[in-house]
Amino acid sequence: MILGNGITGTTAVEAIREVDAQGEIVVISDEDKRPYSRVALRQYVDGTLKPEQMFIRGEDFYLRHNVNAVLGTRVADLSVEKQSLTLASGQAIAYQKLLLATGAHPQRPPIDGQDSEGVFVLNTWADADQIIGACSEARAAVVVGGGFIGTEAAEALHNRGVKCSIVEVADRILPRMLDDRASNRVLKAAKKTGIDVYLSDKVVAFQSDSGKPGNGIRGVLLESGKEIPCDMVVLATGVSPRLDLAQSAGIKTNLGVLVDDRLQTSAPDVYAAGDVVETNDVVHGDSRVNALWTTGIEQGRVAGHNMAGGDRTYPGSMAANSLPVFCVATASIGCTSARDANDREISSDSDRRYLKVVVREDRLVGAVLVGDTTLAGPLQALIRERELVTPLLPLLERGDFTYAAWFQCQTKSCRL
């Protein structure tokens, strides 16, 4: 049984069928659609993608994989002792093996008035539909949060013709992904696009007018005292793993559900994968939640194989983001800044590209790119494989790092 219908649960279904062609598979999801791309929600909101282009599997996916799909249904309770689930309807369903692929939910900051009509989040297809509907009447919007989701939401609203402002509590845009110099490039692009960005400030209240036609929101109040008029607000202040079922069932959690290297939880026959899970970070050397599309795919495959009787191990995750925002390509991998005096930061800056790498003991542990990001893949490979990059350091310092240099490193001249 699989809880969750996103890319992780979908990949797990396919992995199970590689091992077991006949066993019963039940997929339960509180959303009523077949698997679709959450990372494409921005393109759906701005109209770049049509609804039928959002799906990542065909209409016959469940039929071809002999899956009993229970969609649009919420799970109310999980009993690991009885090995059963209870649906919101009261129906109990037994399982032999269970995968928690329930993903994450948006964080909601403690701001007065956030329950007002016209305040939205962007996490599901239904959220996107609500935002699209609001855009038909809205003239101005405020996005609370300048991270990954916030910048995408702001660009989507702008492309729909809505005047947009971003409010970010940090001193730079995309603060977890980019350093100061990289962020400044994105900030300039945002302003050139026509999006206002307020840094080192935060929203303390939503101002609404119940008698106002449309969305009801009339503005936001910032801690600095500034008021920004708007017709709608999108909250983009991060996401948190959906831990309610796991915690109520007594499964061990921290920031996410805790698992071993086979992605099994503390409960017998219960696995976890995707945005809900906390695993070893291969760069930082500690346990983290790295909520990434590719990570969800990798973990879904491992969990699915093991649920079907296989014996695969998961090597660990690594933060790696690639995002085109305001017509500027950006990428970040691993550590985006030096941890201590033992780390070196090497950077090069040109009109074509800003590139910074973080080096620890002659091995790359992180990289940031803005502009030309074609080298993000080779840099990620060097980081993940812990390649010795001593011969590459002069090239990185001059900004001359190329695919040819990476291929030379792959010939084991730089390996341990």
In a domain, 316, yes or no: no
Please indicate, yes or no, whether residues 166 and 264 belong to a single structural domain of this protein.
no
- Using DSSP's 3-state secondary structure scheme, residue 55 falls into strand
340-386 pLDDT per residue, tens: 888 999 998 988 899 999 999 989 999 999 999 998 998 998 898 88
In a domain, 318, yes or no: no
Please indicate, yes or no, whether residues 365 and 260 belong to a single structural domain of this protein.
no
- The answer to whether the CB of 347 falls within 8 A of the CB of 340 is no
User: Quick one: pLDDT at residue 72?
Assistant: 96
Please indicate, yes or no, whether residues 247 and 226 belong to a single structural domain of this protein.
no
* 207 or 228, higher pLDDT: 228
Please indicate, yes or no, whether residues 98 and 170 belong to a single structural domain of this protein.
no
Please indicate, yes or no, whether residues 143 and 222 belong to a single structural domain of this protein.
yes
Domain of 354: which CATH number?
Answer: 3.30.390.30
Quick count: other Cβ atoms within 10 Å of Cβ 8?
32
| Element housing 150 (H / E) | helix 148-159
In a domain, 207, yes or no: yes
Please indicate, yes or no, whether residues 302 and 408 belong to a single structural domain of this protein.
no
Residue finishing a domain among 172, 203, 235: 235
Letter string b/e over residues 128-151, b meaning 16 or more CB atoms within 10 A of that residue's CB = bebbeebbeebebbbbbbbbbbbb
**How far apart, in whole angstroms, are the C-alpha atoms of residue 189 and residue 207?**
29
In a domain, 376, yes or no: yes
User: Quick one: pLDDT at residue 416?
Assistant: 41
Please indicate, yes or no, whether residues 230 and 243 belong to a single structural domain of this protein.
no
**For the residues 224-234, what does the mean pLDDT come to?**
96
Spatial CB neighbours of 407, under 8 Å, sequence gap ≥ 6? none
Dump the DSSP string for 176-213. Answer: TT--HHHHHHHHHHHHHHT-EEEES--EEEEEE-TTSS
Mean pLDDT rounded to a whole number for the chain: 92
Residue finishing a domain among 252, 273, 307: 307
Note down the domain range covering 152: 119-235
In a domain, 110, yes or no: no
In a domain, 351, yes or no: yes
User: Quick one: pLDDT at residue 91?
Assistant: 95
pLDDT at 395 over 90: no
Q: Where are the alpha helices (DSSP H) in 208-349?
A: 244-248, 293-307
User: Quick one: pLDDT at residue 214?
Assistant: 45
9-21 pLDDT per residue, tens: 999 999 999 999 9
In a domain, 111, yes or no: no
pLDDT at 104 over 80: yes
Please indicate, yes or no, whether residues 255 and 357 belong to a single structural domain of this protein.
no
First to last CA, the chain: 42
User: Quick one: pLDDT at residue 391?
Assistant: 81
Phi-psi map region of 285: left, alpha, beta (phi>0 left; psi -120 to 50 alpha):
left
Q: Please state the domain count of the chain.
A: 3
**How far apart, in whole angstroms, are the C-alpha atoms of residue 159 and residue 194?**
11
Residue 117 pLDDT level (bands cut at 50, 70, 90): confident
Please indicate, yes or no, whether residues 132 and 228 belong to a single structural domain of this protein.
yes
Residue 410 pLDDT level (bands cut at 50, 70, 90): low
pLDDT at 250 over 80: yes
- The answer to whether the CB of 29 falls within 8 A of the CB of 36 is no
The radius of gyration computed from the CA coordinates of the chain, to the nearest angstrom, equals: 23
User: Quick one: pLDDT at residue 360?
Assistant: 93
**For the residues 15-31, what does the mean pLDDT come to?**
96
- The answer to whether the CB of 379 falls within 8 A of the CB of 364 is yes
**How far apart, in whole angstroms, are the C-alpha atoms of residue 369 and residue 399?**
12
Residue 213 pLDDT level (bands cut at 50, 70, 90): very low
Residue 210 pLDDT level (bands cut at 50, 70, 90): low
User: Quick one: pLDDT at residue 219?
Assistant: 93
What share of the chain in percent tops pLDDT 70?
95
Please indicate, yes or no, whether residues 148 and 195 belong to a single structural domain of this protein.
yes
pLDDT at 81 over 90: yes
User: Quick one: pLDDT at residue 415?
Assistant: 47
**How far apart, in whole angstroms, are the C-alpha atoms of residue 324 and residue 42?**
11
Amino acid at position 323, single letter = L
Least confidently predicted of 55-59, 86-90, 393-397: 393-397
Please indicate, yes or no, whether residues 39 and 75 belong to a single structural domain of this protein.
yes
Q: The whole model's pTM is what?
A: 0.92
In a domain, 157, yes or no: yes
**How far apart, in whole angstroms, are the C-alpha atoms of residue 131 and residue 149?**
14
127-164 pLDDT per residue, tens: 999 999 999 999 999 999 999 999 999 999 999 999 99
Please indicate, yes or no, whether residues 247 and 336 belong to a single structural domain of this protein.
no
Residue finishing a domain among 206, 235, 264: 235
User: Quick one: pLDDT at residue 96?
Assistant: 97
Sheet holding 270-272, edge to edge: 67-71, 25-29, 2-3, 98-100, 270-272
Domain of 198: which CATH number?
Answer: 3.50.50.60
User: Quick one: pLDDT at residue 115?
Assistant: 78
User: Quick one: pLDDT at residue 61?
Assistant: 97
